[in-house]
Structure 1
């Protein structure tokens, strides 16, 4: 399970949602909406981004440890849990 936390989600239809969450179960979106209404997702990896919207591709890394605490985690492939390039998962 993956959890994408966004400052702003702009859906294909409807109004923009501030402080949004998208939950992914593999390639399937199981929830997309306000963070306050999101179901629990124990153990989900969380990725933080500014904006989620259709057609907005993103390059994202999920890591075992916070690179702000120890930048060397970026140099260790064993610390990388997932990689998305141009909006497609390529590792993890």
Structure 2
């Protein structure tokens, strides 16, 4: 599945299944994460949802402490979270 297809699926699940109108997006800042974030943003826009810059939260791949990001997300006023990343080996 391509990033654009995955982005469409993420956007539809967030809006149609979960009812999000003001999502936050948590994404890894390497190419996989930024590519899928961009495609998800485009798909959300096609569904009539503009995600403000303040609701975009990037993290480095080897991040271990997500507490500051989670606090920012909680304070952003979002009504849901789309998380983009992949499992790292132990």
TM-score (norm: length of structure 2) = 0.27
Higher strand fraction: Structure 1 or Structure 2? 1
Larger radius of gyration: 1
Structure with the larger RCO, 1 or 2 (CA within 8 Å, 6+ apart): 2
**Greater fraction of residues in helix:** 2
